[in-house]
């Protein structure tokens, strides 16, 4: 019988205006130091009044879109607007992963049920394409962005989510054996301990991925764009409004003046619905938290050879980790650890990057000792060799033990100290705090970033949907009866490094086809149909009277019958 559990996240999308990015934000490690050329760059002292294309947003989505437009000869007279400093949003604050989810993070079977197996496989291949696009760009341009192609391990510390992962891989093998062949399930305790460095894990799924400094990658793209490809970058220039003119052009309003363009592209992710009210409740901000931790001595002497998704109760509440390269002088090697959103107020929904949650910060600092139980040499740790041997013996003997009845993850304590303790429920939490305290990593920096979550958990890429008079009255938002010339790529669900490069390529091809009054039919061969923006996907009734490109025809109508399935769902079945 299938086990019935509550969905891993039950987020009610907020309907309020997310506003502009906060002027002041937490300091990201990736920005230290900021790029001296781009940081507060304005290509021209005055804001141009006219452009062919305005791109709003200077993160990975906006920069990759410019790169793709330039590669097909469509970058002439392009202005990029950034509300703060260059790449100051989620891209400059993320975990440094480039990780295609080949088995869709335990959700493969559910996704096949909702979207169909063909579309789900197309999505996986699309993520693989994104990885190759970034890899090829970095290697071809010789970008100095700490790029390393490396295996990634989703490590599971409890059997239930690991069994679901194995079922996902098994199902994938039946449908796409070539993809499944790139996954490796690890259950051997010796390999979990010695190779993955996770002695208390029950299993892992390993596959190819990469790690990098996304900020340095974007800096390279935009520096080249400004210096040799005609890009006009205007930082500290937030777009505060977009309106249509009688001649079909668009005026983008900013505090420094207005600019008129034939095309406007919203690469605005979490803040999209501030400028496009029809996306309120569809794309919304969710704050995530990151830390750059000083590793224990053993992780500098023998650095990690994988990147990680670290899963206890649920894949969606997993922590994620890379280790930076160690330099010749011994510097570097920081553990770039993110997660802990389950401890954040309202799971981070509607919060911005102007602060951090101290409970989340403490969880991240202390969790390395739990996830990597055998490591030693923490800054504040003084453990004798006898006690170190005791810890290793304890972990080996009890690594699969389930201690119940306490309501607390006692493994965090056991792994962090190597000492067994009186397992009385009333004492466990205090003992955990006391025993973990001296095995907490020190943080070099702690910061937050605002992700753009999507109501139906998929990005929105394509032509901005129109708002009819009927929709305007029903939703109490302004009419937008024509959106010809408005484009977008947003709502990347905290997975932007695996989505945006391919999405930018697809959008550039859509724009090119639109310029020629054609359909971008070739895009459908490799781009997921369920990522395309259409009115019916969002329950909008109006058709754009200027729409002669037939975007709706690019997507099968039945693909959009998923919203009702997603809404109101109380439970999901997890296969045994």
Which of 404, 431, 449 marks a domain boundary?
449
Q: Pick the residue with more confidence: 463 or 423?
A: 463
pLDDT bracket for residue 9 (50, 70, 90): very low
Strands 97-98 and 203-211: antiparallel
Are 197 and 227 members of one domain?
A: no
Are 298 and 255 members of one domain?
A: no
Are 186 and 300 members of one domain?
A: yes
Going 283 to 30 to 240 to 504, the CA torsion angle's sign is negative
Q: What is the dihedral of CA 527, 529, 531, 532, to 10 degrees?
A: 100
pLDDT bracket for residue 11 (50, 70, 90): low
542 in any annotated domain: yes
Are 221 and 313 members of one domain?
A: no
Rounded to whole angstroms, the Cα distance separating 508 from 514 reads 10
Phi first, then psi, for residue 544 (nearest 5°) are: -70, 115
445 in any annotated domain: yes
Highest mean pLDDT of the ranges 120-134, 316-330, 363-377, 382-396: 120-134
pLDDT bracket for residue 74 (50, 70, 90): very high
Are 379 and 429 members of one domain?
A: yes
Q: Would you say 455 and 478 are in contact if contact means Cβ atoms under 8 Å apart?
A: no
Q: Is the pLDDT of residue 390 over 80?
A: no
- Mean pLDDT rounded to a whole number for the chain: 86
Instruction: Kindly provide the b/e burial profile for residues 179-191, where b requires at least 16 CB atoms within 10 angstroms of the residue's own CB.
Output: bbeebeebeebee
242 in any annotated domain: yes
Average pLDDT over residues 541-567: 46
Which residues, 6 or more positions from 282, have their beta carbon under 8 angstroms from its beta carbon? 13, 273, 454, 455, 456, 460, 491, 538
The per-residue pLDDT for 288 is 96
Phi-psi category of residue 100: left, alpha or beta, with phi > 0 → left and psi -120 to 50 → alpha: beta
Rounded to whole angstroms, the Cα distance separating 369 from 199 reads 11
401 in any annotated domain: yes
3-state secondary structure (DSSP) of residue 557: helix
Which of 422, 449, 476 marks a domain boundary?
449
Are 271 and 320 members of one domain?
A: no
Are 181 and 322 members of one domain?
A: yes
The per-residue pLDDT for 439 is 82
Q: Would you say 376 and 387 are in contact if contact means Cβ atoms under 8 Å apart?
A: no
Q: Would you say 309 and 320 are in contact if contact means Cβ atoms under 8 Å apart?
A: yes
Rounded to whole angstroms, the Cα distance separating 418 from 329 reads 33
379 in any annotated domain: yes
Q: How confident is the model over 426-449, as pLDDT tens digits?
A: 454 454 455 455 689 999 999 999
Highest mean pLDDT of the ranges 161-165, 409-413, 415-419: 161-165
Average pLDDT over residues 87-91: 98
Instruction: Please give the model's pTM, rounded to 2 decimal places.
Output: 0.86
Rounded to whole angstroms, the Cα distance separating 155 from 240 reads 44
Q: How confident is the model over 248-291, as pLDDT tens digits?
A: 999 999 999 999 999 999 999 999 999 999 999 999 999 999 99
Are 227 and 342 members of one domain?
A: no
Are 464 and 547 members of one domain?
A: yes
Q: Give 349's DSSP letter.
A: B
Rounded to whole angstroms, the Cα distance separating 359 from 365 reads 10
Average pLDDT over residues 497-522: 93
> Domain span at residue 534?
49-95+215-282+455-566
Q: How confident is the model over 137-167, as pLDDT tens digits?
A: 999 999 999 999 999 999 999 999 999 999 9
CATH number, residue 510: 3.50.50.60
Q: Is the pLDDT of residue 576 over 80?
A: no
Strands 50-56 and 257-266: parallel
366 in any annotated domain: yes
Which of 417, 449, 481 marks a domain boundary?
449
Average pLDDT over residues 389-406: 42
Domain count, the chain: 2
The per-residue pLDDT for 217 is 99
Are 260 and 274 members of one domain?
A: yes
Q: How confident is the model over 298-309, as pLDDT tens digits?
A: 999 999 999 999
Are 546 and 485 members of one domain?
A: yes
Question: CA separation (Å) from 200 to 72, 204, 373, 421, 486?
Answer: 51, 11, 7, 17, 51
Q: How confident is the model over 165-187, as pLDDT tens digits?
A: 999 999 999 999 999 999 999 99
Q: How confident is the model over 17-26, as pLDDT tens digits?
A: 999 999 999 9
* Structure tokens belonging to residue 244: 């249509």
pLDDT bracket for residue 67 (50, 70, 90): very high
CATH number, residue 405: 3.30.9.10
294 in any annotated domain: yes
The per-residue pLDDT for 516 is 84
8 in any annotated domain: no
Are 546 and 461 members of one domain?
A: yes
Percentage of the chain exceeding pLDDT 90: 76
Going 187 to 189 to 195 to 198, the CA torsion angle's sign is positive
Q: Pick the residue with more confidence: 114 or 401?
A: 114
């Amino acid at each position: 019988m299938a086990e019935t559990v509550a969905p891993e996240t039950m987020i009610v999308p907020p309907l309020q205006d997310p506003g502009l990015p906060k002027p002041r934000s937490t300091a990201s490690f990736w920005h230290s130091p900021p790029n001296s050329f781009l940081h507060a760059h304005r290509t021209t002292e005055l804001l141009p009044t006219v452009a062919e294309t305005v791109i709003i947003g200077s993160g990975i989505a906006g920069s990759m879109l410019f790169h793709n437009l330039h590669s097909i000869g469509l970058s002439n007279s392009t202005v990029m607007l950034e509300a703060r400093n260059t790449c100051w949003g989620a891209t400059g604050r993320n975990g440094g992963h480039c990780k295609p989810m080949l088995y869709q993070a335990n959700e493969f079977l559910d996704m096949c049920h909702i979207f169909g197996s063909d579309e789900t496989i197309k999505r996986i291949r699309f993520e693989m394409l994104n990885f190759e696009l970034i890899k090829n760009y970095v290697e071809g341009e010789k970008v100095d962005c700490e790029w390393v192609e490396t295996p990634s391990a989703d490590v599971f510390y409890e059997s239930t989510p690991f069994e679901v992962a194995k079922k996902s891989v098994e199902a994938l093998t039946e449908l796409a054996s070539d993809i499944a062949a790139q996954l490796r399930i690890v259950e051997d305790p010796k390999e979990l301990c010695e190779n993955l460095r996770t002695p208390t894990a029950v299993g892992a799924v390993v596959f190819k991925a990469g790690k990098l400094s996304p900020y340095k990658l974007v800096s390279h793209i935009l520096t080249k764009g400004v210096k040799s490809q005609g890009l006009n970058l205007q930082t500290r220039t937030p777009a505060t409004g977009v309106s249509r003119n009688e001649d079909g052009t668009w005026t983008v309003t900013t505090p420094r003046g207005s600019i008129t363009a034939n095309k406007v592209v919203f690469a605005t992710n979490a803040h999209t619905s501030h400028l496009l009210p029809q996306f309120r409740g569809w794309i919304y901000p969710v704050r995530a938290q990151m830390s750059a931790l000083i590793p224990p001595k053993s992780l500098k002497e023998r650095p990690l050879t994988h990147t990680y998704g670290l899963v206890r109760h649920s894949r969606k509440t997993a922590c994620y980790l890379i280790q930076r390269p160690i330099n010749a002088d011994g510097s570097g090697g920081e553990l770039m650890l993110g997660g802990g959103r389950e401890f954040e107020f309202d799971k981070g929904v509607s919060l911005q990057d102007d602060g951090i949650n101290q409970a989340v910060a403490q969880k991240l600092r202390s969790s390395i000792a739990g996830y990597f139980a055998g490591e030693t040499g923490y800054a504040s740790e003084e453990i004798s060799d006898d006690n170190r041997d005791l810890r290793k013996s304890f972990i080996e003997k009890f690594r699969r033990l389930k201690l119940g009845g306490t309501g607390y993850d006692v493994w965090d304590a056991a792994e962090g100290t190597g000492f067994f303790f009186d397992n009385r429920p009333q004492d466990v939490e205090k003992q955990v705090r006391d025993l973990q305290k001296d095995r907490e990593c020190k943080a070099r920096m702690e910061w937050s970033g605002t992700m753009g979550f999507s109501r139906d958990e998929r990005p929105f890429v394509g032509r901005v949907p129109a708002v009819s008079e009927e929709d305007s009255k029903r939703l109490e938002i302004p009419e937008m009866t024509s959106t010809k010339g408005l484009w977008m790529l947003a709502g990347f669900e905290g997975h932007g490094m695996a989505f945006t490069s391919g999405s930018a390529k697809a959008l550039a091809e859509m724009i090119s086809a639109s310029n020629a009054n054609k359909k971008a039919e070739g895009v459908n061969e490799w781009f997921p149909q369920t990522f395309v923006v259409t009115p019916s996907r969002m329950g909008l009734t109006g058709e754009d009277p200027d729409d002669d490109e037939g975007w709706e025809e690019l997507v099968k109508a039945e693909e959009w019958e998923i919203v009702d399935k997603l809404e109101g769902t109380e439970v999901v079945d997890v296969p045994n």
